[in-house]
Chains A and B, each alone.
Chain A
Amino acid sequence: MAEEMRIVLRNYGKIDPLNIDEYIAAGGYGALNKARGMSPMDLIGEVKASNLRGRGGAGFNCGMKWNFACQAPADQKYVICNADEGEPGTYKDRLIMEGDPQSLLEGMAICAYAIGATQGYIYCRGEYPSVVKTLNAAIAQAKEKGVLGDFSIEVRMGAGAYVCGEETALIESIEGKRGEPRIKPPFPPVIGLWYKPTIVNNVETFANIPAIVEKGAAWYAGIGTPTYPGTKIVTLTGDVVNKTFFEVTTDTTIQEVIFGFGGGISGGKAFKAVQIGGTSGAFIPAAHLDTPIGFDAMSSIGASLGSGAVFVLDESRDIVDVTARIARFFAHESCGKCAPCREGTMRMHDLMDKINAGQGQTADIALLNKLGRVMSYSCLCGLGQAAPAPVLTAIEHFSADYDAKLA
């Protein structure tokens, strides 16, 4: 079996997260010093060459994103860390923030230097009050040590809306407005927080940065799968023996994650499906288990790596029932801004409930397919575009389960 490779969790469990001296003793802030010795363009070039892609779900090249913000002329720019970890079954960002908060701050400070920002925000999930305490303590220590220079970081708490994990909704929320996505373009690196160029990266993305700066782009680009190099923290939930987390290289297959690291299906039952990347992830049947978890490999089977949540279902699970609950989740979390998501998530939930209650017709499945298809390419933001994925893939791969429930 493949071994874990810990880059973002390099200090996890090894140092006292509330003692910055231990982080520095483990080599912390060496990367920031090194970065400050480089020109911003060289630094961005290095990040670009590492081919690090965002760990939040969209998988955009991190260095390219920074370059947009760097090039955008402005008197003020911002660095935001997206720590609104709202995907059910995902807790990777919490691990980093609890176990090694300074690595996140260092990553943000490197980004700030690269794009020319002096103010940063960490937008932390409202359900993580203890993490906020840890972060504030870490920021205070970093300030006292003077390691951040003129870069200030402030923690802002979310209020529980799932959509605020979407970067522009997150920006609106920091601005004190209703958490709703903005129209794109313009993208945040050009017009972001308070209409200034802004980088929004996920916690895991930032935590990769110090290692890349320290060890070089070539080192990083050589790890895992070439188009999506590095590692990914996966968090295992559901009917799997080891319900825990692992940091694995991106060429690891789903099979290895579940049956290797995960120890297989609990209770000696057979595998039925796995949903990867969070609630909006596709359901993946056994036939695709040999797919590597890297971004593009997952896209090729109509799935996504997303947040790295791995939700395993055994043969006894009622996938129609599970999907109906997911549909309820999205009807509840739609912000209501765009019509296809506002109305569509509600209808999807209604139709799933109807089918789940044994009252569905064949026409309802056809309608679900049409609705899901339209939502996936018409909705304003990623929430509405991704919400139909579990419904559509469950119908695609487990149609017999649906047929069995029709009236």
Chain B
Amino acid sequence: MINVTIDGIKASVPDGSTILQAAKDVGISIPSLCYHPDQSVKANCRVCVCEVEGNRLLQAACSQPVYEGMVIKTRTPKVIEARKTILELILSHHPQDCLNCIRNENCELQSLAAEYFVRSNPFELKVRGLPKDLSTPSLFRDPDKCVLCRRCIEACTVVQTVNALGLEGRGSHAMVVPSLGLDLIDSPCIMCGQCIHACPVGAIGEVEDIDKLLAAIADPETIVVTQIAPAVRLALSEEIGMDTGALPMEVFVAGLKQIGFDHVLHTNFTADLTILEEGNELLKRLTSGGTLPMFTSCSPGWINFCETFYPDLLDNLSTCKSPQQMFGSLVKTYWADKMGIAPKNIFSVSIMPCVAKKYEAARPEMTASGYRDVDIVLTTREIGRLFRMSGLDFTKLPPQPFSPWMGEYTGAAVIFGATGGVMEAALRTVYEVVMEETLEDVNFTIARGFEGIKEAAVDLKGTVVKVAIAHGLSHARKLMDQVRAGESPYHFIEIMACPGGCVGGGGQPITKANFKRIERLDAIYIEDEAMPIRKSHENAEVKKIYEDFLHEPLGHKSHELLHTHYHAKHKRFL
């Protein structure tokens, strides 16, 4: 322990603490902008500077380690003048259009400006007038708003090892740019959106499709149908001022009905269906000498990553479409038929924790129904905006049920939203199919938790099936390199592009730190525990669709509607 004095308060803090951590320990919060709890220390914004006795220079609290006897002052006139001046400098080089900004009221710079009551800025407003990058259907970049904290670069290069973002230029001309100066769509960007979470301001955000939804609702001819992804509900609670997971599913459904959705269905239905298709695909590969290890295919950021960086391993990917796209092709065929609705009148909306889903829905191959299978994708954040606009009080809204045929789901589908969830769900089903006996304890806890790579071995009638799970692409890359080198011991690998899986997806409420992702993971397993049915193959509506329509997993209809193929993306990358 190290003895320090902070603003007159004597404290003993752990060795290796920074001033920022030590101050937090004694209950003093030091403002920061470039600091990110899950990232390396950058110390480039200098907003956290403090006075240290005996030192002429102010010290950045985020980077300066404490030493024995250190006397720190966090709010002297010198410190306040420095912080405020630095904020004025940053603000005067930043567009003043907070009202129109996607991060209005959820912006670290805006909060700091308010905390330091920047009223009139002595520096003349100077905005660079750089063009926005609107090249992708998932994310936009607004470089004028960038404050050069470099958190997006670390998310892209260290967390995801995609290296789509880098720095160009010096001094006040320095900019974060997609690598090689390309538009984002031509860069190796995989559209996971982790940069959005990292950005303290509105320099990167999701492409919004709310207006398209409102137009569809306004059209009396159009039947607006939606699917809700597993990880959305619990995080959406945060967007409407509730604790994580607090919004009951049926109240969520009621809210969507209030907004004007005609039918609310669930992606969880096709998550269960995915288990049937993917589980059988795995068994087929295991028994007939197919390409192994098989990789899961539900994370569209991961698919983009594989197509960009591991085009030689595309045969390892499960041919199953993601649950979103399975849903999309079924809603305009099977469901339309069951409901007696003309598919051309269906406007298929998907509510996702993800921005890469917007890109996935727009893939040219995703038209198996004869129409665009998923018309628009809205993120959890966009639904949050719609709900806030709606003026609804979710504590008073009476619950509403899902519409029939594609609304039922099991606990196995619920956990798709967590890293390891697809694996656990698959094991629940594969075990019973192979062993022909009831699985008493469905909890494969080895697949749970926030560790980057998890592995397990399951004995299925003498055949030991080795599985691995990775979330965050830096971890995935390790497993992929093993496969590429021919040294992978696994049969089945689950990959989720985003840290934590879908709970930490690029479309989720802005998640500054991993502890929030872990909180959401906990909420998912609570929901799974509470489900009466927790194995995908016991889903009655799934059984029904096989009886009435698909006939068998991996059958002709499945092949047509539920499976896809992948293409190498010939991109230039560093």
Q: Which residues of A contact B (CB under 8 A)?
A: 161, 178, 183, 185, 331-340, 342-347, 350, 363, 367, 370-371, 373-374, 377-380, 385
Contacts and interface: CB of A to CB of B under 8 A. Distances in A.
Nearest to B49: A378
B86 to A, nearest CB: 5
Nearest to A385: B57
Contact of A342 (B60, B78, B81, B174): B174
A323 B78 CA distance: 26
Contacts of B192: none
B65 A336 contact: no
Given A344-B89, A370-B85, A374-B85, A339 B174 contact: no
A331 B174 CA distance: 12
Contact of B45 (A335, A336, A339, A345): A339
B396 interface: no
A373 to B, nearest CB: 8
Given A338-B44, A343-B172, 19 more contacts: A183-B60, A335-B171, A336-B172, A336-B173, A338-B45, A339-B44, A339-B90, A342-B174, A343-B89, A346-B171, A347-B89, A347-B92, A363-B122, A371-B89, A374-B82, A377-B56, A378-B57, A378-B82, A380-B46
Contacts of B93: 343, 346
A345 B122 CA distance: 15
Nearest to A178: B167
B333 to A, nearest CB: 53
Contact of B58 (A185, A336, A370, A378): A378
Given A332-B171, A374-B81, A377-B56, A183 B43 contact: yes
B171 A380 contact: no
Interface string B27-57: 0000000000000010111110100000011
A185 B65 contact: yes
A339 B171 contact: no
Contact of A331 (B60, B78, B172): B172
B170 interface: yes
Interface in B81-102: 81-82, 85-86, 89-90, 92-93
A338 B57 CA distance: 15
Contacts of A377: 49, 56-58, 78, 82
Nearest to A379: B46
Contacts of A340: 46, 82, 85-86, 89
Contacts of A343: 86, 89-90, 92-93, 172
13 contacts: A183-B63, A185-B64, A335-B170, A335-B174, A338-B45, A340-B86, A342-B172, A344-B89, A345-B171, A346-B172, A367-B123, A377-B57, A378-B46
Interface residues of B, number: 35
Nearest to A337: B44
Given A337-B44, A380-B46, A331 B89 contact: no
Interface in B167-208: 167, 169-174
Contacts of B147: 339
A371 B56 contact: no
Nearest to A179: B170
A379 to B, nearest CB: 7
Contacts of A338: 43-46
B165 interface: no
Contacts of B78: 377
Interface in B342-357: none
B172 A334 contact: yes
B13 interface: no
Contacts of B167: 178, 336
A336 B148 contact: yes
B124 interface: yes
Nearest to A363: B122
A347 B82 CA distance: 15
A339 B89 contact: yes
Contacts of A337: 44, 148, 174
Contacts of A333: 170-171
Interface string B151-179: 00000000000000001011111100000
